[in-house]
Amino acid sequence: MAAEESRSLLGRPAPGPGTRVRNKKLYVAAFAAVLGPLSFGFVLGYSSPVIPELRKIGDPELRLDSDQASWFGSIVTLGAAAGGILGGYLVDKVGRKLTLMLCSVPYVFGFTVIISARNVWMLYLGRMLTGLASGVTSLVVPVYISEISHPKVRGMLGSCVQLMVVTGILGAYTAGITLPWRWLAVLCSFPSCIMLLFMSFMPETPRFLLSRSRRSEAVAALRFLRGPHADHEWECEQIEAGVQEEGLNVSEFKNPSIYRPLLIGVALMFFQQLTGINAVMFYAETIFEDANFKDSRLASVVVGSIQVCFTAVAALIIDKTGRKVLLYVSGTIMALSTALFGLYFKMVLPNPNNSSNPDVWATLNSASPGTESSISWLAVVSLGCFVAGFAIGWGPIPWLVTSEIFPLKARGISSGACVLTNWAMAFLVTKEFNDLIGFLTSYGTFWLFSAFCCLNIAFTAFYVPETKGQTLEQIEAYFRRS
């Protein structure tokens, strides 16, 4: 795909009675849906304050060694990868709304297992179940929001998915300062219960209803989402024009209108994880401890706050700047900050021979005494810039774009492939983070992440389409024509 193809897809946005649209109930529906990503954020953030506590716990049946701590942090991504497969099936079979409501079951059951855990294997099972729910959530919520939104606010509402994820992470960090690990799990189970209650009053997406020939329900859903004065029939006709009722055959993946957006979506998820974000966030407290900061939990809260603030900024400006500009800015900031973070560890690690030790805690704690105190600001600034850079672009935008570019009949299976890719890569990065540090040293690992961030920029320039201001039907038509 040539670079010029990735400019704005069509010359003008769709006409329509946009001035008569009322967004109030649309925002309510979006809020109900993003309580799922809030739960997902609590799952991701849970490991950071809990791992140091479980490494020192008195009960030998629950005490984690370095390898078990690595599994506790990363096994959630295996569950999420399985959730991507399950979600891709459910979202097309039972609908977007019901799939999201069903997510609350493994969320609550998983945290219940953790609360009642008597050994490490129960901790693993609880993390796997909450990961399964997170995988389904990460697929269905972007699809639900993109299908109920109109182009003027789709970017903002789509970015709120990532905003609520990082808010959940921050909530887990903050609550983890005062709550013991079992009570923290109790707190983490609440958002999914509230989501189940709220979503029971929200409509199914009009596009799913029309794909099932339920036109009267689709019109009713549009009336709820757009207000009584919008032209519901006009929008319904626009959606119907793009709805293809026939099922998806394997042979159709030879069609560029299906495989090109799929390849772009999978690549976006692949590159998102190769920035190293999940390795950094899963082990945020440990990284600060290894960088010799006394109050590592407070430092993690600061990092989480930065992520929330800059994700909110991205949500506010994305429908004005477009998707690609923010991806460029984000990739550049991350490339520079990971390079600087690697420089910090290069300066504080006295001898590269310690790289033979694969234990991240031992490797980074071998820093030269006194060296870190004089340049500790470099670690703080680098990590803060990395998190801010990720939050403003490569955090929310891959999820947003993958919810926009797939044709309706392939949306479930294509989204499932993207979620599977994202979480499989997240598992590899987080699980092998220790081994990478052992093999490349800590500074070599962060320099490798920096190189991947540079590749992200090049991929954005040549392959990612600009979807700002376009309806989902226009985006689908663009890939059919090209």
**Spatial distance between the Cα atoms of 89 and 416, rounded to a whole number of angstroms:** 8
- Reading phi first (left if > 0) and then psi (alpha if -120 to 50, else beta), residue 150 is in beta
Query: Reduced to 3 states, what is the DSSP secondary structure of residue 466?
Result: strand
Q: What is the pLDDT of residue 324?
A: 92
Q: Sort 178 into a burial class: Cβ within 10 Å, 0-12 / 13-18 / 19+.
A: exposed
Over range 12-17, report the average pLDDT: 45
- pLDDT, tens digit (0-9, with 9 covering 90-100), for 112-156: 999 999 999 999 999 999 999 999 999 999 999 988 988 888 889
Q: Which of 475, 407, 403 is nearest to 139 (CA)?
A: 403
pLDDT at 12: 42
Share of the chain above pLDDT 70, in %: 83
C-alpha 296/C-alpha 307 separation (Å) is 17
For 178-202, give the DSSP string.
Answer: HS-HHHHHHHHTHHHHHHHHHHTTS
Question: Which residues, 6+ apart, have CB-to-CB distance to 306 below 8 Å?
Answer: 384, 387, 388, 391
CA distance 390 to 49: 21
- The pTM (predicted TM-score) of the whole model is 0.82
| 469: alpha, beta or left? (left if phi > 0; alpha if psi -120 to 50) | left
In order of 175, 285, 287, 290, 314, the CA distances from 295 in angstroms are: 15, 9, 12, 11, 29
Are 133 and 192 within 8 A, CB to CB? yes
| CA pair distance 102, 99, nearest whole angstrom | 5
Please say whether the dihedral angle defined by the alpha carbons of residues 141, 144, 148 and 150, taken in this order, is positive or negative.
Answer: positive
CA distances from 91 to 28, 141, 428 (A): 21, 10, 26
Q: Are 331 and 453 within 8 A, CB to CB?
A: yes
pLDDT for residue 220 is more than 60: yes
pLDDT (mean) for 3-17: 45
d(CA 274, CA 261): 20
Rg (the chain; Cα; Å): 22
Q: Is the pLDDT of residue 476 over 90?
A: no
CB contact set of 270 (below 8 Å; sequence gap of 6+): 421, 422, 425
Q: Is the pLDDT of residue 11 over 70?
A: no
Q: What is the dihedral of CA 438, 440, 445, 447, to 10 degrees?
A: 160
Q: Using CA atoms, how far apart are residues 436 and 439, in angstroms rounded to an integer?
A: 5
Query: Which pLDDT tens digit goes with each residue over 295-325?
Result: 666 777 888 888 899 999 999 999 888 899 9
- Sign of the C-alpha dihedral, residues 237, 477, 27, 204? positive
**Stronger pLDDT, 147 or 244, i.e. the higher one:** 147
Look at residue 310 and give its three-state secondary structure.
helix
Q: For residue 394, is pLDDT > 90?
A: yes
pLDDT given for residue 308 in this prediction = 92
| 207 in Cβ contact with 240 (< 8 Å) | no
In the predicted structure, residue 365 carries a pLDDT above the cut 60: no
Q: How many Å apart are CA 170 and CA 284, to the nearest integer?
A: 11
- Collapsing DSSP to helix, strand or coil, 407 comes out as coil
pLDDT-based confidence at residue 382 (cuts at 50, 70, 90): confident
Whether the CB-CB separation of 274 and 421 falls below 8 Å is answered with no
pLDDT at 274 over 70: yes
- Contact by Cβ (8 Å): 410, 248: yes
Residue 185 reports pLDDT greater than 90: yes
pLDDT at 9: 46
Provide the pLDDT confidence category of residue 15 given band limits of 50, 70 and 90: very low
Q: With bands split at pLDDT 50, 70 and 90, how would you rate the model's confidence at 92?
A: confident
Nearest to 170 by CA among 298, 272, 275: 298
Q: What percent of the chain has pLDDT over 90?
A: 35
Q: Does position 290 have pLDDT exceeding 80, yes or no?
A: no
